[in-house]
Amino acid sequence: RWFTHFYVVSVLWNGFLLICLFRAEFLGESLPSWIHDMHHALGRDSQSKDMGNEHFSALLVLLLLWLHSCRRLAECLWTSVFSSGVIHIVQYCFGLGYYIAVGSTVLCQVPTNVRNGKKLSVQICWYHIIGVMMYIWASLHQHRCLAILANLRKSRSGKVVSLSHSVPFGDWFDSVSCPHYFAELLIYVSMAITLGIHNVTWWCVVMYVLFNQALAAVLCHEFYQKNFSSYPKHRKAFIPLV
């Protein structure tokens, strides 16, 4: 349940960054000075030519990241049923820092000293459409899987009747033990596509999500196999067929 704090921070912080970038893109305002300092430290202000759709791509990804945080916060508050499990203080602090850093990473993909000057309709490219469609598809499945997990602890009337673990069925649970983790990976891949596929920095973020979610999925998969003798043997831990 402490993961709720991560999404509160993400909604507030990434919402603030989204407003800053929106005002810079559409109202002609300059980004805050500390963002310029951050760009300077990372060498991003050395670019002097038009970088195409980087401004719009970053704005779109920051919007998707903020919407993702809003949905996860709502699910933590009104959908999920948490047990009495705890989180290590190091993991908790790292999680808070991660959601601050990931939004800043998106913002750092935008050169601060150039504006492409194109109309919004001209800036929409094929990879924006594919990325957003994949984002919506993965988000819907993640929500369904989280709802399935929550319903295992609820009665038909919606009242919480148990905090114990049960074997989930339905949707992507028929293929993997942790489809909500797999959907999380797909969401970050969709953002990489939205940024134009070629963005190496964001693919590093995707690799972090891959290893992080895979580790959690394997531990969860082993828990299911150990505690439920009739657990479906065809299910994989994280990625279907892998």
Same domain, 37 and 151: no
48, 87, 177 from 97: Cα distances, Å: 31, 15, 28
DSSP assignment of 21-82: HHHHHHS-PPPPHHHHHHHHHHTGGG--S--TTHHHHHHHHHHHHHHHHHHHHHHHHHT---
Same domain, 7 and 105: yes
Tell me what pLDDT residue 130 has: 97
Q: Which amino acid is at 28?
A: G
Q: Indicate the average pLDDT of the chain.
A: 89
Does residue 44 have a pLDDT over 70?
no
Confidence category of residue 74, pLDDT binned at 50, 70, 90: very high
DSSP assignment of 208-235: HHHHHHHHHHHHHHHHHHHH-TT--TT-
Number of structural domains in the chain: 2
Tell me what pLDDT residue 48 has: 45
149, β-bridge pairs: none
Same domain, 95 and 77: yes
Tell me what pLDDT residue 36 has: 76
Whole-prediction pTM? 0.92
> Which range of residues forms the domain containing residue 96?
1-123
Average pLDDT for 68-76: 97
Tell me what pLDDT residue 150 has: 96
